[in-house]
């Protein structure tokens, strides 16, 4: 099976497992795990912030930052298809009591005027808008890269209205690979940035939050409060260090694979796919109604040997990652051609 459902499906390589087995550990709640401390320093340095915090998941990374920046009843601006609103179980409202103001973007990218228009004026009737969250790269937008100039414009509007800024940078390093812009340049306008080790970087677990030092004591306390204090997790941090050292430089391979797959898909009759829209490791495409329902099409793909996720009615997402080679991509292209052939219509 060629698994293109997500870049979360990667498995730790033998070399990564070896690094995990060799890791020095200690009690991280006491701040005594040397491998976790090293990973947190690495992350802070890479993103140009004072300090880092290792957390079990990307959801926890986002939610600690929302709790840090906003009080119950506050309003937090997010893009309508953002991970925070779609895929985090309603945690912003249930864990921090905030309400989310959803603003539609263009393939996930917000327009400055649209954000400006929803920031609440101080008035006793209004909730206070206290935080703007952006997503890099934008998952549901199709792995779109937030242009740095747009980030700066949005940050200026946010700052001039007293809002804090958080970046859900789950796939920040894919943006870095696509543009050559340093992670620290992307991170600079934000108060807090989270990124995932368990996505395209290929680690089994974990995310990091980075911020300036003044927030870190509170973030550490909130991590404990949210149940994310961990003990001898140097074995997991070692996988993260290995990922940062070995799997960042290769991300452009995934992007080439995605582009190639999009080209193949766009040549299959009945498939609508725009290779020019592929910016990183995700390919979005639609299949004509005459070729089957969403569930039938997914089943044909599975029978042909390729797995992917549906993201709408006959709309699909294929994600390239560390565990799919160039040869797998060619093979997947043939499997899609078979799965989406009229011969499958019964
Ligand atoms: C995957 C993802 C997260 C975090 O998800 P976890 O499964 O909790 O690690 C956050 N934001 C985006 C955009 C993601 O794609």
Boundary of a domain, candidates 228, 246, 264: 246
Q: Could you tell me the CATH number of the domain that includes residue 112?
A: 3.40.640.10
Among 7, 87, 90, 206, which residue has the most ligand 1 atoms within 8 Å of its CB, making it the best to mutate?
Answer: 87
Determine if the pTM surpasses 0.85.
yes
- Please report whether residue 145 resides in a domain: yes
Q: Which residue has the tokens 């009945």?
A: 270
**At a CB cut-off of 8 Å and minimum separation 6, what does 104 contact?**
79, 80, 81, 114
- Please report whether residue 220 resides in a domain: yes
Copy the structure tokens of residue 6.
């997500």
Same domain? 336 vs 260? yes
Q: pLDDT tens digits, residue range 174-222?
A: 999 999 999 999 999 999 999 999 999 999 999 999 999 999 999 999 9
- Please report whether residue 25 resides in a domain: yes
Average pLDDT over residues 48-68: 98
Same domain? 168 vs 272? no
DSSP E strands, 136-281 = 164-168, 192-196, 207-211, 271-272
Q: Could you tell me the CATH number of the domain that includes residue 278?
A: 3.90.1150.10
Same domain? 279 vs 338? yes
Average pLDDT over residues 229-257: 98
Same domain? 160 vs 74? yes
Q: Is the pLDDT of residue 260 over 70?
A: yes
Boundary of a domain, candidates 180, 215, 246: 246
Q: Is the pLDDT of residue 30 over 70?
A: yes
Average pLDDT over residues 98-120: 98
Same domain? 242 vs 254? no
Same domain? 32 vs 163? yes
Helices (H) and strands (E) in the chain, counts: 14, 13
Number of domains in the chain: 2
Ligand 1 centroid to Cα of residue 171, in Å, is: 9
Ligand 1 centroid to Cα of residue 320, in Å, is: 16
Q: Is the pLDDT of residue 346 over 70?
A: no
């Amino acid at each position: 099976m060629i698994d293109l459902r997500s870049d979360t499906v990667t498995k730790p390589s033998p070399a990564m497992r070896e690094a995990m087995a060799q890791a020095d550990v200690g009690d991280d709640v006491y701040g005594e795990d040397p491998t976790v401390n090293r990973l947190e320093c690495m992350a802070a340095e890479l993103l140009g912030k004072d300090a880092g915090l290792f957390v079990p998941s990307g959801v926890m990374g986002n939610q600690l930052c929302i709790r840090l920046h906003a009080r119950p009843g506050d309003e937090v601006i997010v893009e309508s298809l953002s991970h925070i609103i779609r895929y985090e179980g309603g945690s912003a409202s249930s864990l921090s009591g905030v309400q989310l103001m959803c603003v539609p973007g263009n393939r996930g990218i917000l327009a400055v005027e649209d954000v400006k228009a929803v920031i609440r004026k101080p008035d006793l009737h209004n909730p206070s808008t206290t935080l703007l969250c952006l997503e890099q790269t934008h998952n549901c937008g199709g792995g779109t890269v937030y242009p740095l100039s747009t980030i700066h414009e949005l940050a200026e509007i946010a700052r001039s209205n007293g809002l804090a800024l958080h970046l859900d940078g789950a796939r920040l390093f894919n943006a870095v690979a696509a543009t050559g812009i340093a992670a620290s340049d992307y991170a600079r306008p934000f108060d807090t940035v989270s990124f995932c080790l368990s996505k395209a970087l290929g680690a089994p677990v974990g995310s990091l939050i980075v911020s300036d030092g003044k927030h870190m004591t509170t973030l550490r306390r909130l991590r404990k409060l949210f149940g994310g204090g961990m003990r001898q997790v140097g074995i997991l941090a070692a996988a993260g260090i290995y990922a940062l050292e070995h799997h960042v430089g290769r991300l452009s391979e995934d992007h080439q694979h995605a582009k190639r797959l999009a080209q193949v898909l766009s040549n299959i009759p009945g498939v609508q796919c725009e290779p020019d829209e592929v910016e990183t490791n995700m390919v979005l495409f639609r299949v004509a109604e005459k070729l089957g329902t969403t569930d039938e099409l997914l089943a044909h793909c599975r029978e042909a040997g390729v797995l992917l996720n549906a993201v709408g009615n006959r709309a699909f997402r294929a994600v390239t990652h560390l565990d799919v080679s160039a040869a797998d991509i060619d093979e997947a292209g043939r499997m899609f051609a078979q799965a989406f052939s009229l011969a499958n219509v019964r």
